[in-house]
């Protein structure tokens, strides 16, 4: 029997707009070590989640987002190589998510929240129609004037870096709306 979708219990905590605070890659194995911050210390990303659980995720490597392109041309006029350089630094996908709390942290059987998103549209065509699975950790921090809300997402499975190294991603998001 499939796990119960617990989205209704978490809707108010998750629905909204989230800004990337950090994107880190760790070695795989029992003692993970930080090996990269692929988008630097100030990653550029947003996740928007609707009250009906539609997720739209956008990440861009800020070092590749120079305006205009190095040639001085617009995106539409730029050459293939410089447009590809920018495009390879962008990752986006969207689709409806289902949220689970059935003892499978990170979707791998370790306890906690996790979600899966059925991908409708993606910058990577191989993701379309597939599932993106993330472990989800929610936290709050008291600050002057209220609370800040954070979410840590851990993609299931390894991520592959441009040099072919396999790593585990950890992305921290702050709720901004």
CATH number for position 86: 2.40.128
Helix (H, G, I), strand (E, B) or coil at 13: helix
The count of structural domains within the chain is 1
Instruction: Report how far Cα 149 is from the mean position of its chain's Cα atoms.
Output: 16
Helix (H, G, I), strand (E, B) or coil at 88: coil
Tell me the C-alpha distance between 95 and 29, whole Å.
30
Q: Counting every residue, how long is the chain?
A: 177
Residue labelled with tokens 């209704």? 8
Is this model's pTM higher than 0.95 or not? no
In this prediction, residues 58-63 reach a mean pLDDT of 94
User: Is 104 inside a domain boundary?
Assistant: yes
Split at pLDDT 50, 70, 90, the class of 162 is confident
Structural domain that includes position 85:
7-175
68 versus 92: the higher-pLDDT residue is 92
User: Is 71 inside a domain boundary?
Assistant: yes
- Beta partners for 68? none
Tell me the C-alpha distance between 170 and 35, whole Å.
12
- Mean pLDDT, the chain, rounded, equals 91
**Structure token pair of residue 34:** 């930080």
Q: Cβ of 59: how many Cβ atoms within 10 Å? A: 20
Write the pLDDT tens digit of every residue in 107-128. 455 568 999 999 999 999 999 9
Tell me the C-alpha distance between 175 and 143, whole Å.
14
In this prediction, residues 77-89 reach a mean pLDDT of 91
Q: What kind and span of H or E run contains 126?
A: none
User: Is 1 inside a domain boundary?
Assistant: no
Tell me the C-alpha distance between 28 and 76, whole Å.
39
In this prediction, residues 81-96 reach a mean pLDDT of 93
Write the pLDDT tens digit of every residue in 4-43. 999 999 999 999 999 999 999 998 888 999 999 989 999 9
pLDDT of residue 60: 95
User: Is 2 inside a domain boundary?
Assistant: no
Tell me the C-alpha distance between 80 and 27, whole Å.
33
């Amino acid at each position: 029997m499939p796990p119960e979708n617990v989205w209704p219990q978490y809707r108010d905590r998750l629905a909204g707009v989230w800004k990337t605070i950090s994107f880190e890659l760790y070695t795989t194995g029992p003692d993970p070590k930080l090996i990269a911050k692929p988008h630097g210390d100030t990653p550029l990303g947003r996740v928007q989640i609707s009250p009906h659980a539609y997720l739209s995720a956008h990440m861009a490597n800020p070092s590749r987002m120079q305006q205009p392109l190095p040639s001085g041309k617009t995106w539409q006029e730029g050459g293939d190589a410089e447009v590809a350089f920018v495009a390879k630094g962008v990752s986006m996908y969207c689709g409806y998510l289902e949220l689970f709390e059935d003892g499978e942290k990170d979707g791998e059987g370790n306890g906690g929240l996790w979600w899966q998103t059925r991908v409708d549209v993606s910058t990577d065509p191989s993701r379309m129609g597939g599932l993106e699975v993330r472990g989800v950790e929610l936290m709050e921090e008291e600050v002057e004037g209220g609370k800040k809300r954070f979410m840590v997402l851990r993609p299931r499975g390894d991520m592959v870096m441009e040099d072919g190294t396999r790593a585990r991603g950890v992305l921290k998001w702050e709720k901004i709306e």
